[in-house]
Chains A and B, each alone.
Chain A
Amino acid sequence: MAATRPLLDYAERIHPAAYWELLMNLTRREVKGRYSQTLFGVAWAIAQPLATMAVFTLVFARLANLSENGVPYPVFVYSGLVPWFFFLNSVNSGTMSLIQYRNIVTKTYFPREIIPLSQVCSRLLDFGAAATLVAVLMAYYNVSVTRWVLLVPGLFVLLVAFTIAVTLLTSAVNVFYRDVSPVVQIGLQLWLYVTPIAYPFSRVPGQWKTWIALNPLSGIIEGFRSAIVYGRAPDWSLLGLSAMLTAVMLIGAVVLFKRLDKYFADVI
């Protein structure tokens, strides 16, 4: 007979390797489901920011020169749209993810956060594909890279952390109140305009600056732009505020998620 295992009144922790592999497998399942039987596959991930870039360029570049540091507007706006769409798509599909996976949530136990996390992970592929086009555009418009590009990994961690925080929150609460999903969708549409994507943070009118700065995505997206297309130091205070808010939100989201996840199967 096998060695006696202790009687526990909580779920047994799963091996970290098993946790990671399950996350990767669910991510693969997600990606495969999304792109199977499409002709262009991941290329669609580039089409989304590219199309928005074209619209923004046609509309805003005509109205006023909203770019900064002499960067051509298409490069300026596309470099902001890539992280934005990563966030938008992650939160959008993440919010519904626990409901979509109702089948396994109500039938087997595993750490529940893996489901929204796999949604975020699956969008990393799209993010990577869309990001390569930033390099192409920069080469085309002759925008050069400086040493500040070394900040990119840190900014990337911040972006992913913030995206995870929001996704955990919306996915968990959506299990209990289905109204969350439409609210999130409308909220995300407005969020695009209160984030310095079509315009630089420096052009925000003074009395609104504080509010825009309280949006953690502002610091992150401005940071990406400084590091990659402007080639200069980021606005440290803006970035610092983003990092702080992100950390607080992530901790809060994890705590709330773990508190709620015991009830998922009962109400889903």
Chain B
Amino acid sequence: MSSRPTVIRFESVTKRYRTGRSRTIVDLVASSVDRLRGRNQDNYSAARGRIGSTVFALRDVTFDVAAGTGLGIIGSNGAGKTTLLKLISRVTWPTSGKVRVAGRVVSLIELGAGFHPELTGRENVYLGAGLFGLTRREIDARFDEIVQFAEVERLIDTPMKRYSSGLYARLGFSVAINSDPDVVLVDEVLAVGDAAFRRRAIDSLRRLIAEGKTVLFISHDIWNVRRLCERTIWMDEGRVRAVGAASEIADRYMEEVNVRALANRNNALQSHRSGTGEIRYTSVQIVEGDGCPAGIVREGSPLVVRASYQAASRVARPIFQIAIIDVDTGLVVATASSHPADAPRSVEGAGEVECVFESVPLRPRQYLLRMTITDAHQLVSYDVVTGETRFAVGAAGGRSGQGSDDEDGIVSLKYRFDHRLRAMS
């Protein structure tokens, strides 16, 4: 691995942008006059406000990328991910520091950005690939492949204004990855196009990596990052927060995102609830085995939901229900205290109830709770609170589940493969 040459090198790169309103000639004249009179330079501009203010998009960023790497870039909005790609593609230049790149860079910051709707697909292939620096002869040699990959054979001589947006993006992607790149920059563009195309796009990026090309991949979809990238950079407010193995960084990142999301809500339950109100939850907490509140539950470890309630009057045989819901796929499990041993005969005033899950064999991601209190026949809902309480499952230390990113689904089951070769008779 160490023998692979470096293709991208950031040497303490800082990038500052000017913010506020843009300068006008009036500003230029005014600041020149100020300067001539020996006054403090931007006196005038300061009075008119905020053209001098700047914002750091990147601060002192240093890292290397070796050829043949799939590098994921994750981080919240405004962390500097796109600026990173723009510096590599030379769209913009660092305020200080050096960005070194080897070979041809192809950026998919926006698919088909160079296309013109009045031109046909064929003409746009030449225009688009030309923007990446290819000559006509080079494009001729790749033309069929580009068209086939995008599946636009039928419409290639039609003006692109007649294309659907998915088709537009497909041709843009196809031109980019077939432009003989050494470095491919992908910025959250795979959200367009249908599922089949997305899969082929990911496959083709994987193939490029296998061929020794370098792919930098920005995505908010951590699963795609893990699927495509062996290494990941975590950007946070313009700095490199962490670099390392994709699965490890992704887990740490998700953990923090979830903790932040949890920190943003207090436990007072008010909104997003329904029910007749004879009895209501007053607070819901996720606690760990030792009783401490937790936002992260380790894969496979116990989970305790502790809820306080307040009954306005005497309520006979209430049934407490707790459901775990996966944001993407829906209900994971619903529990109910319907067994006579699980619930009191009647309640009045305040009380507390706990539901203990002895282990949570769930895949690492975010889940939310739906808390319900019903009557004994589960016909009348006294209280229903959905989504006020969330928790995240973090990967078990070290290997997650079977330790493979190829696992998918909700449940993390312990399994192994046994393989026996049988002699042919």
* Interface residues of A, Cβ cutoff 8 Å to B: 1-2, 4-12, 14-15, 17-18, 21-22, 25-26, 28-29, 32-33, 36, 103-110, 176-180, 183, 262-263, 265-267
Contact = CB atoms under 8 A, between A and B. Distances in A.
B220 to A, nearest CB: 19
Given A11-B90, A104-B113, A109-B89, A18 B123 contact: no
Contact of B119 (A10, A21, A29, A109): A29
B99 A108 contact: no
B123 A25 contact: yes
B89 A108 contact: yes
B118 A103 contact: no
B345 interface: no
B103 A1 contact: no
B100 to A, nearest CB: 4
Interface string B96-108: 0011111111010
B55 to A, nearest CB: 12
Nearest to A22: B130
Contact of A107 (B5, B67, B91, B126): B91
15 contacts: A2-B182, A2-B212, A7-B6, A8-B102, A12-B104, A12-B105, A21-B136, A25-B127, A26-B127, A28-B123, A29-B116, A29-B119, A32-B116, A108-B89, A183-B25
A262 B93 CA distance: 6
Given A25-B130, A267-B18, 12 more contacts: A1-B68, A4-B5, A9-B100, A15-B133, A21-B126, A21-B130, A29-B118, A103-B113, A104-B114, A107-B109, A177-B25, A179-B25
B63 interface: no
A266 B91 CA distance: 9
A13 B116 CA distance: 25
Greatest chain B CB density within 10 A among A22, A103, A183, A265 is at: A22
B22 interface: yes
B405 to A, nearest CB: 24
Contacts of A9: 98-100
Contacts of A14: 133
B118 A36 contact: yes
Contacts of A6: 102
B23 interface: yes
A32 B118 contact: yes
A108 B212 CA distance: 23
Contacts of A176: 22-23
A177 to B, nearest CB: 5
Given A107-B107, A109-B90, A109-B91, A25 B134 contact: no
Contacts of A33: 116, 118
Nearest to A7: B100
Contacts of B131: 22, 104, 108, 110
B123 A178 contact: no
A262 B137 CA distance: 29
Interface string B51-95: 000000000000000011000000000000000001001111100
Contacts of B138: 18
B197 interface: no
B413 interface: no
Contacts, number: 125
Nearest to A37: B118
Contact of A108 (B7, B114, B123, B137): B114
B329 interface: no
A4 B214 CA distance: 13
Greatest chain A CB density within 10 A among B86, B130, B134 is at: B130
B165 interface: no
A8 B105 CA distance: 12
B102 A178 contact: no
Shortest Cβ-Cβ A-B pairs, 10 listed: A1-B212, A109-B90, A7-B100, A5-B102, A22-B130, A14-B133, A5-B103, A11-B90, A17-B135, A107-B113
A108 B107 contact: yes
A33 B159 CA distance: 11
Greatest chain A CB density within 10 A among B22, B104, B135 is at: B135
B113 A108 contact: yes
Nearest to A183: B25
Interface string B15-48: 0011000111110100000000000000000000
Nearest to A177: B25
Contacts of B135: 15, 17-18, 21
Contacts of B212: 1-2
Interface in B239-293: none
Contacts of B90: 10-11, 109
Given A7-B101, A29-B127, A108-B91, A1 B132 contact: no
Given A2-B182, A36-B118, A18 B100 contact: no
B306 interface: no
Nearest to A34: B118
A141 to B, nearest CB: 39
B348 interface: no
B186 to A, nearest CB: 13
B358 interface: no
A253 B143 CA distance: 37
A28 B18 CA distance: 35
Contacts of B119: 28-29, 32
Contacts of A36: 118
Contacts of B28: 177
Given A7-B101, A9-B100, A108 B132 contact: yes
A265 B107 CA distance: 15
